[in-house]
Amino acid sequence: MGISTLNVFDNANQFRLLMSFYAVIEESGVIPNCTNDPELFFPDMKSVKASYSDAETAKRACKECPLLDACATYAIVGHEREGIWGGLSAYERMLIRKDIIDRGETKQFAQKGYIKYVGIKPKVPQLPRSVSELE
């Protein structure tokens, strides 16, 4: 099942997209890093410092996962609004999605996936590198 657009708004399309992502996971035979500690990938937003630290830890775990591309692509196309997916926060995914749409490159992104698309790297603002930068 190919993804033809980034405009996935209805529940039926969202469900089909999620099922195709699960099929990629199953076919790969890989157990994603996020399954070991799912709460880490959905940081508690009540504490900015704690959530930033958890988010950075989750992003590092994502970078080593062989499913990074499928996960990031799913989360961007599927409009996941919470958590760390494919090493990206919800805010980063929203900026990338907006950039892709603004460039009129939704079809190219959907065909290539996140990793291959990064050659046309969307501009994502530099986020703080440490908790001390948040203060």
* Domain ranges across the chain: 11-129
Q: What is the pLDDT of residues 12-21, one digit of tens each?
A: 667 777 888 8
Return mean pLDDT, the chain.
74
84 and 67 Cβ atoms separated by less than 8 Å: no
Of 40, 34, 69, 68, the residue nearest 52 (C-alpha): 40
The pTM of this model reads 0.71
What is the pLDDT confidence band of residue 133, given thresholds at 50, 70 and 90? Answer: very low
Q: Specify the residue for token string 């986020």.
A: 127
**Which residues does residue 54 pair with via DSSP β-bridges, in sequence order?**
none
125 pLDDT band, cuts 50/70/90, is very low
